[in-house]
Amino acid sequence: MNFSLQLIAAADHAAQASAPGVLALTNDADVSDIALDGVTRIDLHFPSFADGRAFSQAFLLRRRRGYAGEIRATGDVLIDQLVQMQRTGFSSAVLRADQNPAHAARQFARYARYYQGDAVTVAPRFKEAASV
């Protein structure tokens, strides 16, 4: 599983919100026991940039539940959060209206690799080097 974070325009997200196979969850939903059969996308909501419960939900869906479909960040999503979103398992995000999508690429360019593992690349970097 290797995900690169895709930015979705707010208008496109609104048009796709009620598509078949989409499950929208509040940030206090327990993802450990939700049914995932037929779910192609899970929308996780950030009611405030300071509320990070959706990060935990995404991580649990990827690592513990093995969910391989799209996980989309919605709500109060800032550019500063995008790298951490990708590392915790999000595959797409809808930026808050005042955020400039052109600036997002710089965030990913700053951090090309990480020493520790994450939701997407489980093995830490030293394990990668040992197998080469």
Distance CA 87, CA 35 (A): 24
Question: DSSP 3-state assignment of 44?
Answer: strand
Q: What is the CA radius of gyration of the chain?
A: 15
User: Is 93's pLDDT higher than 70?
Assistant: yes
The torsion angles phi and psi of 73, rounded to 5 degrees, stand at -85, 130
Q: What is the pTM of this model?
A: 0.82
User: Is 3's pLDDT higher than 60?
Assistant: no
The torsion angles phi and psi of 61, rounded to 5 degrees, stand at -60, -40
Count other Cβ atoms within 10 Å, centred on residue 73: 27
Residue type, 85: M
pLDDT score for 2: 47
Among 11, 72, 15, 18, residue whose Cα is nearest residue 46: 72
103-127: per-residue pLDDT in tens? 887 776 676 665 565 666 666 666 6
Q: Which residue has the higher pLDDT, 30 or 115?
A: 30
The torsion angles phi and psi of 35, rounded to 5 degrees, stand at -75, 130
Contact 97, 75 (CB under 8 A): no
Structural domains of the chain, ranges and CATH numbers in brackets: 6-131 (3.20.20)
